[in-house]
Structure formats: C-alpha cells, structure tokens
Structure 1
C-alpha cells in the first residue's frame, strides 16, 4: 500500500513539474522556445525516469530530487546562445576533465543524437 501511494505521489510530482516546465517554455522568445521544446522532447525520450521540473525558472530534469541537466535561455541570460548544462549528479566524468555545459544555437538531427547520448550517459 505504501509503495502504491509513493508511486502515485511521484507520478503527480512528475506531471506537475512538467506543466510548470512547459509554462516556462511558453514564456520564452520563439528562438529559445523552439530549442527548449526540442531538447525537452529529446530528454523525455532518452531518459523517461527523469522528472521534469524548473530550476531558477528554467527547464530542468531531476533524478532523486537532484537536477541532472537543465536548459538556459539565451534571452534571460543575455547571451548569443542557449545552454544545455549538466550538474554534479550527471555521470559524465571522463578522466580528470570533461564538459558540463554546451552552447546551443539550433538542434539538428546530429545534435539530437549527441544530446540523447549525453543524457543517457548522465543517468547511467
């Protein structure tokens, strides 16, 4: 019984988090909104166990309550590119140095494949 209630709570949190995430995406300028929507679709397909949420008002995806990856709009941070970033819980370690953020100006099929690989590795 306890497990069923916990699962129901997780499902409700996930649905609420996704609604909040999509509302934040809808507020973005068109160029950032298009990128955020594509990245959201790729992350959901690559790692369905991640929970959509927001982090500092930006789309993010968490595992066990900790943000694994996030999207930052170019408009909000007044940069010429959006950012796809990964936090410490992401399993991206490669030797003694590895990238944790990527500039994004568009999302091509090749970019989708790279994002998929990164997200899958991050949650492995």
Structure 2
C-alpha cells in the first residue's frame, strides 16, 4: 500500500469519527528552518560543549542585531583568543541551539554565511532566569 493510500484510510477514519483531518507536507520556508535547526544543533546531540561564561558573554557582547557575517565573527573571536579556530563556528552554533541568540531561520545560514540576529541575551543570567 502506498503512503497516499494509508493517508486516505486515516482521513476516512477520522472523518467517520467527526474529526477534521489534515496533514502537513512542508514548504520551502519550513524546509529552510528545519535545515538551519539541524545545522545549529547537530554537533550537540551527542555531547554538550564546554564554553566558559566569559567566552559566551564575550560572543554575545560582540554581536549586533541585524546582519552579521559568520566569517567575520569567527575571525574576530579567533584573533581575540576567545576560542580556538576549531571552536569559533561551534560556539556560534551553540548560541543558536541554546537560544542565547534568536536568528532568522528562513534562509540557509551555512550557505549564505550570514546571521540575521533578531534578539541577543544580555548575559547568561538572562537565559537562566527566563528574561530572554
């Protein structure tokens, strides 16, 4: 039986019970959002990275609302000896994954190299207290 056939059976069952049936197929926006969330969270599914409060607060304070070049931000963090070369992009992904920063997920971040930052936590205490 095909997937469409199974969905049709489910639709009929729900309609017989008087429940409106609908299903979600996704679109370009949700696919882009899903890819960005996967990109941001994938390094942390097996283990949590260890960044110091100083490192996180420094990165948060060095970001600005609006468009940020990922490459420029990484280069700045490396040149200031905040993180190693291998951790520069990782800490940015961590800030997105743990919601320290709220970014526009509607376009491909890794491909564009741009973070459109909508909101930034002022300090780690803002996350813990729910003020973000």
User: TM-score over 0.5 for the alignment?
Assistant: no
Q: Structure 1 or 2: larger helix share? A: 2
Structure-2-length-normalised TM-score: 0.28
Structure-1-length-normalised TM-score: 0.30
Q: Which structure has the higher relative contact order (CA within 8 Å, separation 6+)?
A: 2
Q: Structure 1 or 2: larger strand share? A: 1
